[in-house]
Structure 1
Amino acid sequence: MTDTPSRLRAVFADAGVTGWLHAVDIDTGAQVEAGADQPVCTASVHKLCLLVALHQEAAAGRLDLTEQVECPPVGRTPGPTGLAAMLDTARLSLRDAAYLMMAVSDNTAADLLLARVGLDTVNRCTARLGLTRTHAAHGFGEMLALMREDAGPDGARALADPHVITRLRALDPARTNRSTPRDMTRLLGAVWRDETGPPEHGAAMRRVMGLQVWPHRLAAGFPFDDVHVAGKTGTLPTLRNEVGVVEYPDGGRYAVAVFTRTDRTAAVLPAADAVIGTAARVAVDALRAAA
């Protein structure tokens, strides 16, 4: 695996991105890395931390996952999916809000859960798990509001300007929700080994991560019917991320975290999406070959 980091750097460069990756065999601890300790903006990847905190609160009896919450149409966190895109009052359980948060990255569902769990609880959860480089600075609605404020009067149109991009606090790991690739694979490994709480809660988290609908990033690197990929994406202007677990039919299971950034401000960059799967495949192949 000695040449794998250089191969990963070449893969990222070919796609026109800067990338950071950590991959680990969940059962043996063998690992591949390329900038694994780089501070990165998590964007919606941080919803995984919220999911784990939610289940730890439920396991401790401080909330019931079947508890119903009402979501009126006014004041919802913006977003293109789930409750964020719906027009009428909705009522659903906390666990169904968690499904929407993870499967379609629903920002409104995430902030409903965050209001119930609390930002401090999320940070205490990650600290207990030893994720020393991981911190939630704000909720998802607040993050989007900061972006609007930083973009100025031209709004979303300004995000095509590279000079505007440089002043967005949401793209600065020191001022937004942040982690490292290594911290994220440590969290994934803990979820898959049932180290975050009772097994039934681990199973529930793994289930909703396996229901994520986006096939164009991590899953794109493993186009096989018998290989299962469960993950969580994160996206902001110039940023494309995904963390997840790849499970093979022979029992091999690998936690992978890939974070990328590009100088290009276009919202649609297929190569930047696809390289997440390509890099993950390079890393997992290296781990399997060395086993």
Structure 2
Amino acid sequence: MSDPDYASLFRMAGVTGWLHACDIDSGRQSGHGADEPMPLASVYKLPLLVEFCRQADAGRLDATAPTTVTSGQRVSGPTGLSAMLDDVTMSLRDLAYLMMAVSDNTSADVLLDRVGMDNVNAMLDAFGLDGTRMLQSGRDLYETMELDTGHGWPYLDPDDISRMRALDPAHTNRGTPREMTRLLSMIWRDEAASPQSCSWMRGVLNMQVWPHRLASGFPYDDVEVGGKTGSLPTLRTEVGVVEYPDGGRYAVAVFTRSFSTAVIQPRADAVIGTAARMAVDHLRR
């Protein structure tokens, strides 16, 4: 059975898109540009989460250890600790929860300092995910956007886009749709870390608060969607897993680039859910 016409769907939404979807249990898959290297934006927090859990499993860190995050450690961002003003003390695993559920950039950088970027990349190599690489912290990412544009995000014009290293997979955190679904599948099959840690990661991914991308394609009480979004100028993405009441489990990664620099683009958000639903329906037939 041939893949659906994803290109036409993306074009009607005013975006270019890349997609990979797979049945976690049977291995059936569907894709469109599935091996294209893409900027990960906040999706880089997914491999960071996995390495955090692996280090906790190995006793290299204590996930429950209280950690104080000072105001001087804050990274730009509209959610979580990034939006707060005062020093905060919480456990490392609660920082990981904020990093995933509301995409808190400050929590992510605190965890990255503890876990180590080289260790994340070594884990990716061990998993055979050589198309996925971490090169920047959240602070690094925002600093390059300010340097490249002279003013940073969100006030951009089309000429700024071509200068931004944050949108060039050769110079920023990168991955492919296919490798993102492979990593998600490993979490759902208890292969990415211990079964206990994988169960916790699945729970955290299912607590993500954003309903307007991947989850919008599955508006049913008995279908569970867990995922991680990523956003940068012209870039919208989400990777996640859709679980049906009959036991079907489907990992999906959708990356889009819009033709407009506008921050608010409902059609570009919604097509992620529509494309994911198209892919999952195709796999379920």
Tell whether 2:55 aligns with 1:39.
Answer: no
Aligned residues: 285
Tell whether 2:21 aligns with 1:48.
Answer: no
In structure 2, what is the Cα distance between the partners aligned to 1:128 and 1:64? 23
Indicate conservation of the 8 Å contact 2:3/2:282, yes or no.
no
1:3 Cα offset (Å): 4.3
Give the aligned partner of residue 247 of structure 2.
251
Note the alpha carbon deviations across 1:19-39, whole angstroms, 9 max, x for none: 000000000000001000011
Aligned counterpart for 1:85 among listed residues 72, 79, 83:
83
In structure 2, what is the Cα distance between the partners aligned to 1:79 and 1:266? 18
1:156 Cα offset (Å): 3.7
Give the aligned partner of residue 18 of structure 1.
16
Three-state SS of the structure 2 residue aligned to 1:285 is: helix
Three-state SS of the structure 2 residue aligned to 1:74 is: helix
Aligned counterpart for 2:232 among listed residues 236, 242, 250:
236
In structure 2, what is the Cα distance between the partners aligned to 1:234 and 1:197? 23
In structure 1, what is the Cα distance between the partners aligned to 2:158 and 2:111? 33
Structure 1 gap segments, 5+ residues each: none
Note the alpha carbon deviations across 1:174-198, whole angstroms, 9 max, x for none: 1100000000000000000000121
In structure 1, what is the Cα distance between the partners aligned to 2:44 and 2:140? 14
Three-state SS of the structure 2 residue aligned to 1:36 is: coil
1:158 Cα offset (Å): 4.8
In structure 1, what is the Cα distance between the partners aligned to 2:227 and 2:79? 17
Instruction: Give the letter for the 1:195 counterpart.
Output: E
Instruction: Give the letter for the 1:80 counterpart.
Output: P
TM-score calculated relative to the size of structure 1? 0.96
- Residues 261-272 of structure 1 mapped to structure 2, 5 A cutoff: 261-272=257-268
Give the aligned partner of residue 284 of structure 2.
288
- Residues 49-198 of structure 1 mapped to structure 2, 5 A cutoff: 49-152=47-150, 154-156=151-153, 158-159=155-156, 161-198=157-194
Segments ≥4 residues shifted beyond 2 Å: 154-158
Indicate conservation of the 8 Å contact 1:242/1:276, yes or no.
yes
Give the alignment's Cα RMSD to 1 decimal.
0.9
Judging changes above 3 Å, is the alpha-carbon distance between structure 1 residues 255 and 157 closer, same or farther for their aligned structure 2 residues? closer
Structure 2 gap segments, 5+ residues each: none
In structure 2, what is the Cα distance between the partners aligned to 1:163 and 1:208? 38
In structure 2, what is the Cα distance between the partners aligned to 1:136 and 1:113? 14
In structure 1, what is the Cα distance between the partners aligned to 2:256 and 2:154? 22
Give the aligned partner of residue 271 of structure 2.
275
TM-score calculated relative to the size of structure 2? 0.98
Paired-residue identity, %: 60
